[in-house]
Homo-oligomer: A and B are copies of this chain.
Amino acid sequence: MGRRGTAVGTVGTPGTKSRGGHKRMPRAVREQQMLDAAVTGFARHGYQAASMDDIAEAAGVSKPLVYLYLKSKEELFTACIRRERAALVEAVRAGTRERGTSADQQLWDGLCAFFAHTAASPDGWTVLHRARTQGEPFASEVAAMRVEITELVRSLLGQAAQDAGCDGDLAEREVSGLAHALVGAAESLAEWANARTDDAPTAKETAATLMNFCWAGLENLMKGSRWTPGPRAR
């Protein structure tokens, strides 16, 4: 599933594994195999519970080789995060690439790309999601990704606001809050969608739900109209 075939244990020429003959392979390939195994392992068990032994075995190599290429568990995990982060951001960027469309269309395209990617690569997504709660330095790495995405959203909202003739009414901090709300809602929906093994909604359905959820509100804000608590508010 995930990506790039993570066949457990036997790589290349299956059945050869014993008898001293270790397949010589170019470094780059081996590294990707290791990262594949690591992503699966970390997704399945979390950072702490995943063991280097298991990862090495799943990658079909010996532990010293993992250390030779990736230095330490921490760096291995960081490498996983970085690879998956790049893949996700690239996917979303690719979805939004077409300029010249309206703001809601752009947002919709981005969300579709996001949900499609997380559905296609659930282990990668799980790693990113879990990494947020694994303390430093992993949280920063994911936070950086969040900023990247949030930036995308913010520029989109800001531009849309300008187009709508609403200049500067939205405070910097409010936009930031809205972007976080949007990202959080998207993450939560992605998890919810992935968890449904049967009857899973398509990426587009999920994206539509989210657009329905938030677009009207965002549009209002850009027009300067806002919700306020009724007079009874204590």
Chain A positions within 8 Å of B, measured between CB atoms, are 8-9, 44-46, 48-49, 101-102, 104-105, 108, 129-130, 133-135, 173-174, 176-178, 180-189, 191-193, 199, 201, 206, 208-221, 226-230, 232-233
- Given the contacts A46-B135, A229-B105, A181 and B189 also touching, CB distance less than 8 Å: yes
Q: In the complex, what residues of B have CB within 8 A of residue A233's CB?
A: 105, 108
Task: Determine how close the nearest CB of chain B comes to the CB of A69; give it in whole angstroms.
Answer: 15
User: Do the beta carbons of B133 and A181 come within 8 Å of each other?
Assistant: no
Q: In the complex, what residues of B have CB within 8 A of residue A191's CB?
A: 180, 184
Which of A8, A48, A101, A188 counts the most B-chain CB atoms under 10 A from its CB? A188
Give CA–CA (A37, B178) in the complex, Å.
34
User: Do the beta carbons of B45 and A181 come within 8 Å of each other?
Assistant: no
Give CA–CA (A193, B173) in the complex, Å.
11
